[in-house]
Structure 1
Amino acid sequence: MMPAPADLWSHAAVLGLSIVAFALLALAMERHQEAVFGRRLGAAAGGWNRAAGWAALALALVLAVALRGWSLGLVAFSGHASLAAGIVYGMLVWQGRRKAPRRHGPYRMRD
């Protein structure tokens, strides 16, 4: 049995908001700003990213609870937030490895 398209869109909306929220929260940190942009954005940008990230997480929670009720909404939000945090973390790792200097060959010889 296939889920209704409205169910898929509601899951996509909560997941999308959660991904944006965790990306903004990551970009509020100077370490991730340097990794992504190559420089620090400043305290004001970090504060705005942090505030917008928390606001997006709160909006995702409100949306999940509004669409599914308190019991399933909290469970759905928890799962979507966990998946979104993993996706953002994976993208940060991938970004760091993409910019890292490459070694010659897959193995490093010991002396």
Structure 2
Amino acid sequence: MIHLLSIALCALGFLALGATQKRHQHTVFARPLTPREVRRGRAAGVALLALALGGDGATLGTGLGTIAWTGHLSLGAAMVVAVLHWRAAR
């Protein structure tokens, strides 16, 4: 169960980071974001990724948790890239 939660946190974190990029703002929000919204989105993305690392480390131990986290990061990033690409193509 921790793996699904961590993958979801990583995906949400990368979505927050990706949505704040200029080229994806119109695709996701249909408008450009203010600098304040960009800062908040990036901070939220980093916080979600850190929360996933903390959860993995707390439940699986430091060594295995870090290894699992890198796999969760990869899967979460791949999902976000696929969704952003699909939304941009529409």
Question: Same fold by TM-score, threshold 0.5 exceeded?
Answer: yes
Task: List alignment gaps of at least 5 residues for structure 1.
Answer: 1-8, 99-111
1:3-14 equivalence runs, <5 A: 9-14=1-6
Quote the RMSD (CA, aligned, Å). Answer: 0.8
One of 53, 56, 69 as aligned partner of 1:61? 53
More helix per residue: 2
- Number of the residue aligned with 2:27: 35
- Number of the residue aligned with 2:70: 78
Task: List alignment gaps of at least 5 residues for structure 2.
Answer: none
One of 69, 83, 86 as aligned partner of 1:94? 86
Instruction: Give the letter for the 1:74 counterpart.
Output: T
Instruction: Give the letter for the 2:58 counterpart.
Output: A
- Shift, 1:37, TM fit: 2.0
Alignment length, in residue pairs?
90
1:44-55 equivalence runs, <5 A: 44-55=36-47
Q: Give the distance between the partners of 1:17 and 1:36, measured in 2 at CA.
A: 19
Query: Higher Cα Rg: structure 1 or 2?
Result: 1
2:11 counterpart of 1:24: no
Q: Larger RCO: Structure 1 or Structure 2 (Cα < 8 Å, ≥ 6 residues apart)?
A: 2
Q: Give the distance between the partners of 1:47 and 1:30, measured in 2 at CA.
A: 13
3-state secondary structure, aligned to 1:21: helix
3-state secondary structure, aligned to 1:39: coil
Percent pairwise identity: 39
